[in-house]
Structure 1
Amino acid sequence: MELVLKQKQELGFVMTFQLRQAIELLQYSTYDLYQYIKEQELENPLIELVERTNNFIDSEKWKGKTISTSSSQQLIDFVKSNDIGMRHKLYEQAKFLFRNKQNQQLLKYLINNLDDNGYLRLKENELFDETTIEKGIHLLQQIGPIGIGARSLKECLLLQITYEYPEKKLAKTLIENHLDLLANRKWNDIARCMRISLASVKETYDFIQTLNPNPCSDISDFSVEYLNPDIIVEYKDGNLVYYLNESYLPEIHFNNQYSNLLNLEDETSKYISNQFTSYKWLLNSIEQRRITILKIVEVLLKKQEKFFIEGVRSIKPLTLKEVATEIEMHESTVSRATMNKVIQTPRGSIDIRKLFTSKLETIDGNSISQTEVKDLLEKIIKKENKCKPLSDQKIADYFNTEKGVTISRRTISKYREELNIPSSNLRKEIDL
């Protein structure tokens, strides 16, 4: 075997740090960009930031936080609440009403183990036995909303009946023994098992509907949330105008203290020169991000003009590829530039991605957006006979025959779930 040295020439693509930086900045929300700029100031001595006078980010009253969602809230600024937490209030009431130290200790333990809806979540309890826990739950009813401390939906509803509606014997029996049938709206099965009429089932069901499944939904200490948009579109003199909401981003300046070190030929000069290159790349990346986003918004205003005037129901079919072609950029660039962005419009603030929606073909050769189909779906279900709700297949057939929209049962099911609309059997009401 012979060892031979050979030279081989190949073409390849290497992503530099600067290119990676430009791509990352493109997908940042405005708040993320603010945080990144602050980090660069710490890493690069040549960067000098000048905060704007209307900058609220560093105010003691504001604390920025990015929330990941599928959805539309990416930039949220929180104002801390000065209110005393509800758990603290409950414990203060417990100390006031119950002088027995053991009861106070028991209630403190239970209150600290309540979840955000006021349900008691105990994984393993070594401090108190089951009888003591039961006693504590009933003591809780005297200091909080009825139903607090329940360990299940069934227990929550039964506590409300026990303390507020003791005369509702039928409702208590139904919840105790047939809650699963009630959840699945098996009206005839309930009537047969309980040996009562459908009219009695309906009357009992209507009463149970008045009970609160989450009697303590405000137990968590929530802060007030404010949405800070990345892009603003508004009416001025009858025209739509748009701009980036960058009023709180600091101005980026070159630190002149280091300018005399750029022309020296030593290790310090090399370091300063590299940092100067990074400084220029940062400015360039931010400007490119700004130009790209504004180009996209300009196309959106043209393509989705009816949305800005009439609202979400007027959103037209539009894809990332169509916008990319319009501004002569790659589809991936448009995708990154629209990530994590909230746009404030005369019709409200939404995730900018909501303005991109795929289309469904109609029989006459036209197209209809997913948003419009979902809106129609909601209207159809709202008007249906609640005693004989439409199945997904029947709704799909209706779209095909009455609206001329080609759509499958599976797609109807998907849209229905996205709209949080239950299936037909869970929408069925009692037919007397």
Structure 2
Amino acid sequence: MALVLQQRQEQSLLMTLELRQAIELLQYSTYELEQFIRQQELENPLIELKEKNTYEERLNQRSSSFGSSEMPDDLFPCTDRNMRDTLFEDAKFLYPDEHTQKLLNYLIYNLDDNGYLRVLDRDSAFYLEFDEDAINKGILLLQQVGPVGIGARNLKECLLLQITFIYPDNRLAAHLIEHHLNLLADHKWNEIALQMNIEMKVVKNLYDFIQTLNPRPCLFISNSSTEYLTPDIIVESKDDKLVFHLNDGYLPTIQITANYSQQLQSKSDVSKYIQTQYKNVQWLLSSIEQRRNTIIKIVQVLLEKQQSFFIDGFPSLKPLTLKEVADEIEMHESTVSRATSNKIIQTAFGSFELRLLFTSKLESADGTSISQTAVKTLLENFVAQENKFKPYSDQKIAEYFNSEKGITISRRTISKYREELNIPSSSKRKDIQV
């Protein structure tokens, strides 16, 4: 076999560093874009940022634009206070004994974010100094510092602690929690009445009482601070017409430092470096403008295609795919996908991820289509209005949607949507009928 050397011409697309960065830039939220711009200022000596306004000016501008003097949600400064530290400081004040403080310190810093004591390591040195009785005593001491129920090992213990400290005379409720908590969670009212030998009216009273107890007595202990969404796009109605603007007015203006302009013309090594950095600035400016124009084109299509949503809310959301929008603005579907990622749109009905306005469709009897989001809204409203003593099964709901709403949908799809909406099954939605 002879070896033959052949020359072949092929076309291939090589993704340059600039192209990859431009694609990445398209996916940034406005906040992420701001952070990227400020990082570029640190890396590129030619970039000089001019701030458009101060925090206070931005705050006043946003407040006046929304017709309110209150601080807008996305500008709330957040504080990070460790509530475990506060609990321990209170414990040290109440219990000056060093041995007790050591016990409570271990317990407090092993509480989860709901106030439960779940992560005790029985192989640790702690168990060489404190036995089970001492730990139980420490939990009782902890009750004097924090909310009642704190330090419980599970839900049952948490609820029983609250009854013990606050409602010691309600022995029937304590018995129900101690021996039949699973039946209570599954709404097995008849079995509870039979096993406890009580009337259904008493079961209902016990259930209503237990509902007043707190299953998460120390939810405030979480150290995570509240995150506030900054909208990237704001849609408003002015003179009965939908208008929008990009919420990027606070981004700093990118300018080129004048000191380096003369060195662009020379042929030194410094000049080559300056020219490279100059091209990077030009790319950055071009990519930001391209990102902005792409988002504007997409939102213009959304306002046209989803006009009913912006007027009436999610029940009127129409089926719409990324490809349909991409065809409308003559761009690739992947470009639209990237441009709509990580973006928040503010409407009269609240702020949402922009991607929520894209939804697949279900067929209806008259040949039209309805969005999955609209069907979920219908399901949520239907369950909210059903007879709580006789809630509908997933099969019954599917049959209702098919016969009364003309929406072709299966029982399995209803079950899937119900779980996505955190709606319990029919057996767990059933109320007590006295």
TM-score by length of 2: 0.89
1:180 deviates by: 1.6
Show the counterpart of 1:17.
17
CA RMSD in angstroms comes to 2.3
TM (normalized to structure 1)? 0.90
Partner Cα separation in structure 2 for residue 57 and residue 393 of structure 1? 56
Q: 1:108-123 counterparts in 2 under 5 A?
A: 108-123=105-120
Structure 1, 401-410 or 165-174: larger mean CA deviation? 165-174
| Inter-partner Cα distance in structure 2 for 1:224 and 1:384 | 35
- 1: CA distance between counterparts of 2:383 and 2:391? 8
> 1:163-182 counterparts in 2 under 5 A?
163-182=165-184
- Partners of 1:304 and 1:315 within 8 A in 2: yes
* Equivalent residue number for residue 267 of structure 2: 265
Is the Cα contact below 8 Å between 2:114 and 2:218 reproduced in 1?
yes
Matching of residue 424 in structure 1 with residue 426 in structure 2: yes
For the 8 Å contact 2:58–2:250, the answer to whether it is kept is no
Residues 241-252 of structure 1 aligned to structure 2 (within 5 Å): 241-252=243-254
User: Aligned pair 1:154/2:144, yes or no?
Assistant: no
1:363 pairs with 2:360: no
SS of structure 2 residue aligned to 1:79? coil
- CA distance in 1 between counterparts of 2:150 and 2:192 reads 28
**Is 1:385 the counterpart of 2:387 in the alignment?**
yes
Contact 2:50 2:253 (8 Å CA) reproduced = yes
Quote how far apart the aligned CAs of 1:77 are.
5.9
Deviations 1:339-396 (A, max 9, x none): 0001122332211112112221110111222222112111221222222221111111
Q: Deviations over 1:164-202 (max 9, x none)?
A: 111121211121122122212222332333333333322
Distance 1:375 1:162 in 2: 42
Instruction: Name the stretch that deviates more: 6-15 or 264-273.
Output: 264-273
Partner of 1:50: 50
SS of residue matched to 2:325: helix
Deviation of 1:108 after TM superposition, in Å, equals 2.1
Report the equivalent of 2:8. 8
Q: Deviations over 1:277-298 (max 9, x none)?
A: 2221111111110000001111
Distance 1:280 1:380 in 2: 55
Stretch of structure 1 that moved more, 257-266 or 124-133 = 257-266
Q: Do the aligned partners of residues 215 and 325 (structure 1) sit closer, same or farther apart at CA in structure 2, a change above 3 Å counting?
A: same
Give the conservation status (yes or no) of the 8 Å contact 2:315–2:378: no
Q: Report the more deviating stretch, 387-396 or 116-125.
A: 116-125
> Which position in structure 1 is the counterpart of 2:26?
26
Which aligned runs of 4 or more in structure 1 are off by greater than 4 angstroms? 1-4, 55-59, 75-78
From 85, 88, 93, the equivalent of 1:91 is 88
- 1:56–1:248 CA contact under 8 A, matched in 2: no
Distance 2:349 2:74 in 1: 19
Give the CA deviation at 1:7.
2.0
What one-letter code is carried by the residue in structure 2 that aligns with 1:25? Answer: L
Task: Say which SS state the counterpart of residue 53 (structure 2) adopts.
Answer: coil
Output one character per residue of 1:93-138: Cα deviation in whole Å (capped at 9) or x when no partner.
3233323332222222212221111111333043122111100111
SS of equivalent residue, structure 2 residue 338: helix
Gaps of 5+ in 2: 60-72
Partner of 2:38: 38
Q: Structure 2 vs 1, CA of residues 42 and 5 (structure 1 numbering), >3 Å: closer, same or farther?
A: farther
User: Paired residue for 2:408, among 394, 406, 409?
Assistant: 406
1:124 paired with 2:139, answer no
- SS of 1:173's partner is helix
State the one-letter code of the partner of 1:21.
Answer: Q
Query: How many angstroms apart in 1 are the aligned matches of 2:386 and 2:36?
Result: 52
Larger relative helix fraction? 2
Provide the C-alpha distance between the structure 2 equivalents of 1:331 and 1:57, rounded to a whole number of angstroms.
Answer: 38
Q: Share of identical aligned residues, percent?
A: 63
Structure 1: which 5+ runs fail to align? 60-74
**Paired residue for 2:218?**
216
Taking the aligned partners of 2:204 and 2:34, their CA distance within structure 1 comes to 57
Cα gap change, 1:55 to 1:3, in 2 (>3 Å): farther
